[in-house]
Amino acid sequence: MTSHRTPTPAQLQRWDRRYVWHPFTQMEEWEQDPPLVIQSGKGAYLYDTDGRRYLDGVSSIWLTVHGHRHPDLNRALRRQLDRIAHSTLLGLTSPPAVLLARDLVRIAPPGLTKVFYSDDGSTAMEVALKMALQYWEQRRPRIQPKNRFLHFTLSYHGDTAGAMSIGGIDLFHKRYRALRVPTFTAEPPYCYRCPLSLSYPTCHLRCLDPVAKLLKTRHREIAAVVIEPLVQAAAGMITAPPGYLSKIRELCTRYHVLLIADEVATGFGRTGRLFACEHERVTPDLMAVSKGLTGGYLPLAATLSTDEIYRAFLGRYDEFKTFFHGHSYTGNALGCAVALANLEVFRKEHTLRRLQPKIRALSRLLDPLNTWPHVGEIRQRGFMVGIELVQDRATKTPYPLADRIGHRVAQEARKRGLLLRPLGNVIVLMPPLSITLPQLTRLVRIVSASIRTVTAAA
Ligand SMILES: *Cc1c(COP(=O)(O)O)cnc(C)c1O
């Protein structure tokens, strides 16, 4: 240790720029300004080292559920810490891992019966992909390999190699093609910029036609369809029309293709239900959860599977049907303990019931922006909102990415005490589910003022 004194805010800012390489960040730009150092949080607020307060408008990148420093979650962590921080699930088990798995199976879409733990959204998706491949190999040995995935363009499933293969955001994924396996892709139902130039709602889900065609002609090769149910989040909160997900489920069943639902962003109340799949009574064959699983406290993830898939991995040891996959921290006791407390708070505080009026309030508060000249579309599904800003409302002409319009809106919002992280030209609102109505009102007021200021000057 070089010093026992608490570092000053200025020291932290200097050392950050000297030592830390930040995710999804142009570091040359980062180095130009002193970074905002968050020291603490409470509820929907974050506090910097100077004691300034900010509303956490994106739940610390889509994680926080019941607010920061929730007493029940804190208590659960402290209790677990007094027992043990971690013991392995390779050859052993632990109370929090067992109890959380049981709880997850109880609340998940019916038919999902087994829980495989990992560390984050990306690894939960890697697990789902590997399970799907091995499932088909073990179920139908010697038949033509069923080992390709069908996913959507603009999709995002994480940054590890397998997850990138099924990712469709060129800016993030294209450069790493050497790490990616070939896949089938379909256009997502991006109604505002319909790739098929159909008009909603008279299109009657014609956007499914290309997916149906691919499945019809190539289903023998396709192991699974991978989807972000209801909302393609990182693509800019692209919301699917009602019925889309359940039709995808039907197609997968008809053509004997697995459905992998990536509920990493949508899970744990974000869409107004515990899981997005519930809105259309869909049970996927594999489901990945992470972000909200621990209420935003610790990295933990799970891949849930059906009995049907699980059973395909059973056999004598020397049949080698084992799922040879695991991580050092799989089923981490602290993570599972806090996740259990997180789920308990949903029940105790009636989080989902109390969320419904706030979802409606959020729509109401945002409604006036719908006529603004630079607001192209406001997409909302529960507590997931994307406001797509455009240069010209009539022609839907996007702002050039280099204009950094979203970034500038976020900078304005920060001055006014709200932290945001946009996706290109899309302003994202993902407040903690526990945000109060007055806080939500303030959040929208700040967003509105920030958009007005930036677009008037642009
Ligand atoms: C964030 C995200 C992931 C990746 O999760 P990480 O924890 O960042 O690895 C995967 N899928 C979706 C839909 C996500 O939003």
Distance (Å, rounded) from C-alpha 60 to C-alpha 432? 9
156 C-alpha to ligand 1 centroid (Å) = 7
Distance (Å, rounded) from C-alpha 425 to C-alpha 388? 6
Report the run of H or E that residue 48 belongs to, with start and end. Answer: strand 45-48
Give the confidence band of 2 by pLDDT, cuts at 50, 70, 90.
low
**Overall average pLDDT of the 23-27 stretch:** 96
Q: pLDDT over 90 for what percent of the chain? A: 94
pLDDT of residue 418: 98
**CA–centroid distance for 152 within its chain:** 15
157 C-alpha to ligand 1 centroid (Å) = 5
pLDDT of residue 3: 56
Distance (Å, rounded) from C-alpha 17 to C-alpha 34? 8
Q: Is there a contact between 112 and 102 (Cβ–Cβ < 8 Å)?
A: no
Counting atoms of ligand 1 from 1, which one is nearest the CA of 160?
A: 9
- HSE at residue 105, side-chain half, CA atoms within 13 A, is 16
Give the confidence band of 359 by pLDDT, cuts at 50, 70, 90.
very high
Testing ligand 1's pocket by substitution, the residue of 63, 64, 157, 297 carrying the most ligand atoms inside 8 A of its CB is 157
Burial class of residue 420 (count of CB atoms within 10 Å of its CB; 0-12, 13-18, 19+): buried
Joined tokens for residue 376? 């192209």
Distance (Å, rounded) from C-alpha 378 to C-alpha 364? 12
Give the confidence band of 200 by pLDDT, cuts at 50, 70, 90.
confident
Distance (Å, rounded) from C-alpha 54 to C-alpha 46? 5
By alpha-carbon position, which residue is closest to atom 15 of ligand 1? Answer: 265
The phi, psi pair for 253, rounded to 5°, reads -65, -45
290 C-alpha to ligand 1 centroid (Å) = 8
pLDDT of residue 123: 98
Closest CA to 170 of 183, 186, 154: 154
Q: Is residue 67 annotated as involved in ligand binding? A: no
335 C-alpha to ligand 1 centroid (Å) = 17
**Overall average pLDDT of the 292-315 stretch:** 98
Joined tokens for residue 148? 């390709």
pLDDT of residue 403: 95
Model's pTM, two decimal places? 0.97
131 C-alpha to ligand 1 centroid (Å) = 18
By alpha-carbon position, which residue is closest to atom 10 of ligand 1? Answer: 157
Q: Is residue 328 annotated as involved in ligand binding? A: yes
pLDDT of residue 199: 87
161 C-alpha to ligand 1 centroid (Å) = 13
The phi, psi pair for 88, rounded to 5°, reads -75, 155
Counting atoms of ligand 1 from 1, which one is nearest the CA of 299?
A: 7
Query: SS3 for 102?
Result: helix
Give the confidence band of 170 by pLDDT, cuts at 50, 70, 90.
confident
Find the residues whose C-beta lies inside 6 A of ligand 1.
120-122, 125, 156-158, 228, 233-234, 262, 264-265, 290-291
pLDDT of residue 382: 98
Distance (Å, rounded) from C-alpha 271 to C-alpha 364? 17
Burial class of residue 91 (count of CB atoms within 10 Å of its CB; 0-12, 13-18, 19+): exposed
pLDDT of residue 163: 96
Report the run of H or E that residue 418 belongs to, with start and end. Answer: strand 418-419
The CATH number that domain 74-348 falls under is: 3.40.640.10
By alpha-carbon position, which residue is closest to atom 6 of ligand 1? Answer: 121
Distance (Å, rounded) from C-alpha 406 to C-alpha 93? 46
Q: Is the pLDDT of residue 4 over 80?
A: no
Burial class of residue 139 (count of CB atoms within 10 Å of its CB; 0-12, 13-18, 19+): middle
Counting atoms of ligand 1 from 1, which one is nearest the CA of 265?
A: 15
Q: Is residue 121 annotated as involved in ligand binding? A: yes
The phi, psi pair for 274, rounded to 5°, reads -60, -45
Q: Is there a contact between 270 and 296 (Cβ–Cβ < 8 Å)?
A: no
Q: Is residue 156 annotated as involved in ligand binding? A: yes
Counting atoms of ligand 1 from 1, which one is nearest the CA of 232?
A: 13
Burial class of residue 152 (count of CB atoms within 10 Å of its CB; 0-12, 13-18, 19+): buried
Neighbours of 135 (CB within 10 A): 25
Neighbours of 16 (CB within 10 A): 16
Sign of the dihedral through C-alpha 80, 84, 87, 89 = negative
158 C-alpha to ligand 1 centroid (Å) = 5
Tokens 């790739």, located at residue: 195
350 C-alpha to ligand 1 centroid (Å) = 26
Query: SS3 for 137?
Result: helix
Joined tokens for residue 189? 């139902």
Neighbours of 403 (CB within 10 A): 15
Testing ligand 1's pocket by substitution, the residue of 24, 58, 271, 291 carrying the most ligand atoms inside 8 A of its CB is 291
**Topology of 36-66+351-457 in CATH?**
Aspartate Aminotransferase, domain 1 (3.90.1150)
**Overall average pLDDT of the 389-401 stretch:** 96
430 C-alpha to ligand 1 centroid (Å) = 15
Q: Is the pLDDT of residue 321 over 90?
A: yes
pLDDT of residue 201: 83
Neighbours of 163 (CB within 10 A): 27
Domain extent listing, the chain: 36-66+351-457, 74-348
**DSSP-assigned letter for residue 181:** P
- Per-residue model confidence as pLDDT tens digits over 91-109: 999 999 999 999 999 999 9
Q: Is there a contact between 391 and 428 (Cβ–Cβ < 8 Å)?
A: no
Testing ligand 1's pocket by substitution, the residue of 151, 157, 264, 275 carrying the most ligand atoms inside 8 A of its CB is 264
Longest CA–CA separation in the chain, Å: 69
Distance (Å, rounded) from C-alpha 88 to C-alpha 17? 36
- Type of residue found at 262: D
Residues with Cβ < 8 Å from 314, sequence gap 6 or more?
321
pLDDT of residue 174: 86
Mean pLDDT lowest for which of 64-68, 141-145, 160-164, 184-188? 141-145
Q: Is residue 165 annotated as involved in ligand binding? A: no
pLDDT of residue 379: 98
